[in-house]
Structure 1
Amino acid sequence: MMQGEGELNHLERPSPLNEREKVLIQDSWAKVYENCEDAGVAILLRLFVNFPSSKQYFSDFKHVEEPEELERSVQFRKHARRVMNGINTLVESLDNSDKVASVLKLVGKAHALRHKVEPVYFKFLSGVILEVLGEAFPEVVTADVAAAWTKLLATLCCSINAVYEELGWTSLSTSTG
């Protein structure tokens, strides 16, 4: 097994967000969500540039090479909006752990069963989200805000991973250990 492989399966669940962290996330997200589609497009573009293998899961645009062409794609923009709306639901529901768990379970099941997405891509996406938000909103994403988002996204990855494990997900990269 290569270094780093399988580490996603052994992430420790972070402690729950405290009230201050929830407020930091919600306040920063309000500013990001004002430009929902543009932020979503920037996040997905960065994911595809940094992790080109992630495009394999998108039949509508997996063969599109040029970022400019992706930006113009109606399907691409639609998926970017869907990602942002999903994040928005989580952020709005931070005080309702049952709803957060329910949303993450639905997302995990859909991506495992229907889309067959390797769970490591959620870790990649989390890093990209932090990177893009920090660059696009430097005045909003302070060190404390970034730390709160890191904790939220780690929780998301752990929750999605748990759903995959519940479903008995196996992959070539993690089943040969």
Structure 2
Amino acid sequence: MLTNYEKELIAEIWERMTPVAEDIGSEALLRMFTTFPGTKTYFSHLDISPRSPHLLDHGKKIVLAIAEGSKDISQLAVHLAPLQILHAYQLRIDPTNFKLFSHCVLVTLACHMGEDFTAVAHAAMDKYLSAFAAVLAEKYR
């Protein structure tokens, strides 16, 4: 359960990161592909090399969805409903990948934010990204 302070902190972080959404998203995806090579199978039709247009575009889309969800976390399931259906029924992404990607986002945020990524910010973001991943995985049940 996120406190009001954590919700505000998460929204503030994503507002700050939105201008660099391409960088955050593509770097997190690249981390995931490098650390967990099996996740690449869903992207075999795209150029996923560092800074490729496909990687930058998809990374930006993901980060903007995460940032948008952070504006009203209580409505996360409503906000993510179209993405739930897309990932579960059309793309058939293994829901474990959402957790793996969440971890990579945390590492990427820590790299980009430096000292501003405090222990409190880390814990709050971990809770939020876990909730985000759980909501995306709901349609798999």
Matched, 1:73 2:58: no
Contact 1:26 1:92 in 2 (8 A): yes
Give the drift of 1:105: 2.5
Q: Which amino acid aligns with 1:60?
A: H
Rg larger in 1 or in 2? 1
Matched, 1:25 2:25: no
RMSD of aligned Cα (Å): 1.6
SS at match of 2:131: helix
Q: Which has the higher helix share?
A: 2
Contact 1:105 1:163 in 2 (8 A): no
Contact 1:24 1:145 in 2 (8 A): yes
Identity over aligned pairs, percent: 30
Q: Which runs of 4+ in 1 moved over 6 A?
A: none
Structure 1 residues 60 and 109, CA gap change in structure 2 (3 angstroms) = same
Matched, 1:35 2:20: yes
Structure 1 gaps of 5+ residues are: 1-14, 65-69, 166-177
Contact 1:55 1:61 in 2 (8 A): no
Structure 2 gaps of 5+ residues are: none
- Tell me what 1:53 maps to: 38
- Tell me what 1:90 maps to: 69
Contact 1:109 1:164 in 2 (8 A): no
Number of aligned pairs? 141
- Tell me what 1:145 maps to: 121
Question: Under a length normalisation based on structure 1, what TM-score does the superposition of the two structures give?
Answer: 0.73
Distance (whole Å) between structure 1 residues aligned to residue 101 and residue 38 of structure 2 = 12
> 2:95 is matched with which residue: 114, 119, 123?
119
Contact 2:11 2:67 in 1 (8 A): no
Question: Under a length normalisation based on structure 2, what TM-score does the superposition of the two structures give?
Answer: 0.90
